[in-house]
């Protein structure tokens, strides 16, 4: 038993989606593997990104079947709403066993990016870093002005492609999103998961503020929430290390 939803302009991928478990298991091109696994699979001369979500435990099986949308479903419909901000969604499919969700997959077009925002954040000699950060600030402002808030706006989820003298940005891992007008506080907190230095954040914040009606406090709040997140994460790391040591 399964449930399949496919983007109307990509109906020719229906057979691929129906047999995704076979395609996925026989493919070795894994680009990410943690809780979920992501592979790039070429089908009909088209490069596709396939995300296999971790099989839920019994409690989550019940929750995702009767009370909550699956992560695959959220990824698909959020991508449709994101339009040009994310890779084009192809389809998603859910497989059921004894009427409960067993596993699910989300399929999208492969955006052939050159790097993520992580590389210029970590490399002080990265070519064109200042221009990248300024372009990233304007991209983020476009997201926010479109009432889009990515709840995991972290470096690995921000893809960048160079195109002549400009940059194209796409966001991925989009199952955790909200779509509503963003307050000044929410806008400032949106950068906190980048783990960027204060100097880089100032470049980003000042460019954002240049195109957005806000005061100097907004820029300082971006730094404040970033450093607050770092303190919390570092405290948790120290606490975990202490527990393991003891």
117-157 tens-digit pLDDT: 999 999 999 999 999 999 999 999 999 999 999 999 999 99
pLDDT at residue number 1 = 92
pLDDT at residue number 9 = 87
* Number of C-beta neighbours around residue 56 at 10 A: 19
Residues of the chain with pLDDT under 50: none
pLDDT at residue number 232 = 87
CA distance 104 to 102: 7
pLDDT at residue number 63 = 94
DSSP assignment letter at 68 = S
- Does this model's pTM top 0.85? yes
For the chain, domains (ranges, CATH) are 2-109 (3.30.200), 115-240 (1.10.510)
CA distance 217 to 70: 39
CA distance 4 to 31: 24
pLDDT at residue number 214 = 86
pLDDT at residue number 19 = 97
Q: Which two tokens stand for residue 162?
A: 């160079």
């Amino acid at each position: 038993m399964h449930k399949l939803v496919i983007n109307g302009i990509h109906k020719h991928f229906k057979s691929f989606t129906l047999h995704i478990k076979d395609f996925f298991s026989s493919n070795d091109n894994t680009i990410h593997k943690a809780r979920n696994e992501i592979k790039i699979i070429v089908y009909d001369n088209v490069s596709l990104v396939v995300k296999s979500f971790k099989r839920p435990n019994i409690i989550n099986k019940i929750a995702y079947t009767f009370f909550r949308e699956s992560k695959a479903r959220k990824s698909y419909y959020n991508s449709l709403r994101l339009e040009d901000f994310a890779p084009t969604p192809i389809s998603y499919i859910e497989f059921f066993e004894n009427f409960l969700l067993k596993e699910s997959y989300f399929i999208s077009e492969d955006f052939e990016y050159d790097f993520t925002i992580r590389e210029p954040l970590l490399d002080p000699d990265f070519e064109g870093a200042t221009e990248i950060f300024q372009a990233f600030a304007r991209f983020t402002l476009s997201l926010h002005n479109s009432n889009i808030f990515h709840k995991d706006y972290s470096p690995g989820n921000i893809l960048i492609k160079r195109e002549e003298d400009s940059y194209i940005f796409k966001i991925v891992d989009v199952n955790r999103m909200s779509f509503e007008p963003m307050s000044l506080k929410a806008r400032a907190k949106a950068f906190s998961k980048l783990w960027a230095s204060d100097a880089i954040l100032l470049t980003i914040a000042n460019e954002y503020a240049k195109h957005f009606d806000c005061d100097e406090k907004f820029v300082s709040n971006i730094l404040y929430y970033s450093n607050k997140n770092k303190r919390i994460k570092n405290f948790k790391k120290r606490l975990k290390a202490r527990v393991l040591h003891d």
